[in-house]
Structure 1
Amino acid sequence: MEKDKIHNSEEEIDLSELFRTIWRGKKTIIRFVTIFGVIGLFIAIFSEKQYVASTTVVLQTGGSKVGSNLGGLAAIAGINLGGGSTGGLSTALYPQIVQSVPFQRELLNVSLKFSNVKEEITYREYYEKYKKNNILSVIRNYTIGLPGKVINLFKKDPNNNNSITEMPEDSIYRVSVKEYSLFKQLKGQLGIDNNKKGRFIKISFSMPEALPSAQMAQKARELLQKSITNFKIQKTKEEYTFIEERYNELKKDFSKKQAVLASFRDRNQGLITSRSQSRLESLQSESNLAFSIYSELAKQLETQKIKLKENTPIFTIIEPVSVPVIKSKPKRIMILFIWLFLGTVFGMGFLLGKKWLKSLNTDNKVTH
């Protein structure tokens, strides 16, 4: 019991000593808080504005109308009924699709309307010609980003131009340094949030202005829908194209055989010779065979058309894209409070560290 009392009293002494140390060094803490507060205020004021536009869609499959409708209602309720498969394309792959070179290349060429530019310009043109860096970006580029700039000077490839070139022989895409930096920026601006239980897909895009952010979000949704649809129906479409080509060939062949049969009948009207009768039967058999194959392919073609429609995924827009009214960044009050908190923590850490070093030096002197 006496040991516990001694231990508790030592803890009370330590805590009271800690509070006294902090109180005595309150001026130092105030200095730290002031310095960090000024830094936070500077960052809060000069941080670039960002507007985020988003859209939410539910992915369904064509299938039967009943199944499709039930699947859509279940998805809205957050329930996955199964069935309506997306052809093996997992929602986890959607971020990989939007980060692919062809997808990002499409986004670079989206026409946008900015308040400081009269005519519409592309995303690429805005960031290469019109976008002005703010003070924080300049400071960051020439402090934290300076080593990277120096390295890039030595890594610069004179053969690397400013455009993406598709190599026709093996379909390899070549990306320049400028385009690579634009791709990195796109990855930070474009967000894909997929809900695994339902089939929600939320697509968001952030830009310095409200209208361009909405335009980019809309285009990203359209491109993602197109990519998923192409993936889903690719095999069925190839089969449909193959059957259609064979159908057209056999249609021509059947028409020719019918024409030959009709011509033979016209030339041999009234003749009942065995030779002419045999030839007529032969032509009739060829025409019937061609018609049978042609009819069968016509049925397969119609079946494939239905299958193509069934396999085409349906995107139901739950929340359409709208032009944001309120900016999402910077959250100035939060930034200021975070920096004030950091100033307090660093100030207290400085005081306690200074005291610890002082006590350490005192102990060393005593031992010597």
Structure 2
Amino acid sequence: MTNNESYKLDLIDIVNSVLKNWKILLVLTGFSLAIGFMIIYSTEESYSSKCVLISESGEGSSDLGGLGGLASLAGIDLSKGANIGSINPALYSSIAGSTPFLKAVAHQKYYFEIVGDTLSIYEYYINETDINEKVVSDTTFSYLPDIQRMSNAELATIAYLRERIFVNMDWKLGIVEIEVVMPDPLVSAQIANFTSIYITDYVKNYSQEKGRIQLAFVDEQIRERKIEFDRIQRVLNQFKDGNLNINSSRYRAKEQELSSEYNLIYDVYNELLKQKESLRIQLNKEIPVFSILEPVSIPNRPIKPNKKLILLLSVFTGICIGIVVVLFKVKIS
């Protein structure tokens, strides 16, 4: 008998053994299927709501023109905040993971369809868990006014939300994708909508704040240059008035030196005034504009648990275990 014939006979014996013990196979498959149903009904359903935004902003370039060279000669660095509209892509996901944002989400009121009432995530989470309020929320210290102590329930709620709110940014396409996964489909959609509004407002304010800082910097430089300009103008006028009838080379050299300094400060001062007006226009032009590519919608089907996949895996696992048990039984007998 060849090896191929022996292999075929062994395979036929295995199949026959499995078919003869079909009851064991059926029982184990049914048991595995029952476990699958238990997993399905014990797993909390989760609904996903998505929102896609298109972010459009200016190139963020600050054209200083001839001001950069003049300012450097006068000892001024205008490179600070040169890019008003430049926003790091990581900012979007950082906002979604920040404690102030998650705290705002936690205390915002939503209508819970599964409860039939309007609650905050914080209130809902406390009712669904056994967390005790060991620390009073929003406790502040008189000697540390900017620091707050949050309750255990607040910290737990924030941790709960941090695992359910996702914001991704495709910087090349300028697309912001927001996804919220919650057990209530209506709440999921409401939080996604709240997140889109919060993020767009935050980014706009952030961009304006950068522009306001640069504008304040230019204003400060204008005040300083104005003081210098008034000083050199006064010195030059006093020098000319005190030397009306003098026409020596020494006088002309000093007058030329003062005039050169006067012209330099005057040019820088005028360019700063122009730059201030340019920044005002640029500040309004480079505020990010968000357009809704995919609006928020209420999901109809849960994404978890995946019932079909769980049942298929349960049947497959039951059959595999059944075959192993049958073969083990045949080997022993």
TM-score calculated relative to the size of structure 1: 0.59
Q: What amino acid maps onto 2:21 in structure 1? A: G
1:53 is aligned to 49
Partner Cα distance (1:165, 1:249) in 2: 44
Of the three residues 36, 43, 53, the one matched with 1:40 is 36
Q: What amino acid maps onto 2:182 in structure 1? A: M
Secondary structure of the equivalent of 1:204? strand
Q: Are 2:59 and 2:85, in contact at CA under 8 Å, matched by a contact in 1?
A: no
> 2:86 aligned with 1:87, yes or no?
yes
Partner Cα distance (1:119, 1:294) in 2: 63
Closer, same or farther in 2 for the Cα pair 1:352/1:247, shift >3 Å? farther
> 2:290 aligned with 1:322, yes or no?
no
Partner Cα distance (2:172, 2:269) in 1: 46
Q: Are 1:194 and 1:200, in contact at CA under 8 Å, matched by a contact in 2?
A: yes
Closer, same or farther in 2 for the Cα pair 1:324/1:350, shift >3 Å? same
Of the three residues 280, 285, 299, the one matched with 1:305 is 280
1:15 is aligned to 11
Closer, same or farther in 2 for the Cα pair 1:125/1:18, shift >3 Å? same
Q: How does 1:263-302 map to 2 (within 5 A)?
A: 299-302=274-277
1:57 deviation in Å?
A: 1.0
Q: Are 1:162 and 1:178, in contact at CA under 8 Å, matched by a contact in 2?
A: no
Q: What amino acid maps onto 1:226 in structure 2? A: D
Q: How does 1:346-361 map to 2 (within 5 A)?
A: 346-352=321-327, 358=332
| Cα deviation code 1:108-137 (max 9, x no counterpart) | 1222112366763211112213x4x8xxxx
| Cα deviation code 1:153-182 (max 9, x no counterpart) | xxx9x9x62536677859666554433332
1:143 is aligned to none
1:243 deviation in Å?
A: 4.4
Q: How does 1:39-188 map to 2 (within 5 A)?
A: 39-63=35-59, 87=86, 89-91=88-90, 94-115=92-113, 120-129=118-127, 131=128, 161=135, 163=137, 169=144, 174-188=149-163
- The range that moved more, 187-196 or 242-251, is 242-251
1:87 deviation in Å?
A: 2.5
Structure 1: gaps (5+ residues):
65-83, 134-148, 254-290, 360-368
Of the three residues 175, 178, 192, the one matched with 1:200 is 175
| Cα deviation code 1:2-42 (max 9, x no counterpart) | xxx83323332332233233223322221111112222223
Partner Cα distance (2:329, 2:168) in 1: 47
| Cα deviation code 1:24-66 (max 9, x no counterpart) | 33222211111122222233345433332211112221359xx
Q: Are 1:101 and 1:173, in contact at CA under 8 Å, matched by a contact in 2?
A: no
1:344 deviation in Å?
A: 1.9
Partner Cα distance (1:219, 1:248) in 2: 43
Partner Cα distance (2:183, 2:23) in 1: 40
Q: What amino acid maps onto 1:89 in structure 2? A: N
Closer, same or farther in 2 for the Cα pair 1:294/1:118, shift >3 Å? farther
Q: How does 1:326-345 map to 2 (within 5 A)?
A: 326-345=301-320
Task: Work out the number of aligned pairs and report it.
Answer: 273
Closer, same or farther in 2 for the Cα pair 1:246/1:19, shift >3 Å? same
Q: Are 2:40 and 2:307, in contact at CA under 8 Å, matched by a contact in 1?
A: yes
- The range that moved more, 95-104 or 215-224, is 95-104
| Cα deviation code 1:235-292 (max 9, x no counterpart) | 32212244457889999x9xxxxxxxxxxxxxxxxxxxxxxxxxxxxxxxxxxxxx99
Q: Are 2:52 and 2:177, in contact at CA under 8 Å, matched by a contact in 1?
A: yes
1:71 is aligned to none
| Cα deviation code 1:137-162 (max 9, x no counterpart) | xxxxxxxxxxxx9xx9xxx9x9x625
Q: What amino acid maps onto 1:13 in structure 2? A: L
1:73 is aligned to none
Partner Cα distance (2:99, 2:223) in 1: 37
Q: Are 1:108 and 1:122, in contact at CA under 8 Å, matched by a contact in 2?
A: yes
TM-score calculated relative to the size of structure 2: 0.65
Q: Are 1:50 and 1:330, in contact at CA under 8 Å, matched by a contact in 2?
A: yes
Closer, same or farther in 2 for the Cα pair 1:106/1:342, shift >3 Å? same
Structure 2: gaps (5+ residues):
61-82, 228-265
Give me the identity figure in percent: 25
Q: Specify which structure has the higher proportion of helix.
A: 1
Q: What amino acid maps onto 1:23 in structure 2? A: L
Q: Are 2:109 and 2:120, in contact at CA under 8 Å, matched by a contact in 1?
A: yes
Q: What amino acid maps onto 1:345 in structure 2? A: C
Q: What amino acid maps onto 2:10 in structure 1? A: D
Partner Cα distance (1:183, 1:199) in 2: 28
Partner Cα distance (2:279, 2:103) in 1: 33
